[in-house]
Amino acid sequence: MNPEELLNEGNERNKPAADSPLISLERDLKYFNESIKEVSEEIMNEGLSSYPIFIAHQHELSIGELILDRHDLNSEWSIHASTLEEFVERDVIKPVLKERFIKSYKDPYEYMCVFVVVPEGANFVYFPYVK
């Protein structure tokens, strides 16, 4: 699937933009902003990791710890909390790419690092915390 298809751009016959998974993800991340930031700071303050990662998904996953369940919260996305260390341990991030990931990692006090899982694949995005 092309990025344009995910965003429903370029073809008026597509579903309305509100149906795009990325639009609903942005809405949920804004709504859960404070909770995600609290968990991120807790992970860092407790010395668990300097690199918190949040996993956004719409199905069952076995990585990280569930912190926001879409079924309980009447939202479209569930969020798991994890760390760079778990991603390396589980081989989601190859050990040889760990340093490259760290260099590209944005300020965790300003941005949430979100690993977005959709049927077409998965990717990292950085979403700014709402002030």
Flag whether pLDDT at 60 surpasses 90: no
Contact 43, 108 (CB under 8 A): no
Rounded Cα distance, 44 and 42, in Å: 5
**Average confidence score pLDDT of the chain:** 85
Rounded Cα distance, 64 and 80, in Å: 5
The percentage of the chain sitting over the pLDDT mark of 70, rounded to a whole number, equals 84
Place of tokens 């694949």: 121
How many CA within 13 A on the CB side of residue 67?
22
Flag whether pLDDT at 1 surpasses 50: no
Contact 63, 55 (CB under 8 A): yes
Q: What is the mean pLDDT of residues 37-62?
A: 94
Model pLDDT, residue 79: 94
Flag whether pLDDT at 4 surpasses 90: no
The tens digit of pLDDT for each residue in 66-104 reads: 999 888 888 889 999 999 999 999 999 999 999 999 999
Contact 89, 70 (CB under 8 A): no
**pTM of the full predicted structure?**
0.81
> Bridge partners of 56?
79, 116
Model pLDDT, residue 19: 60
87: nearest Cα among 77, 97, 79, 78: 97
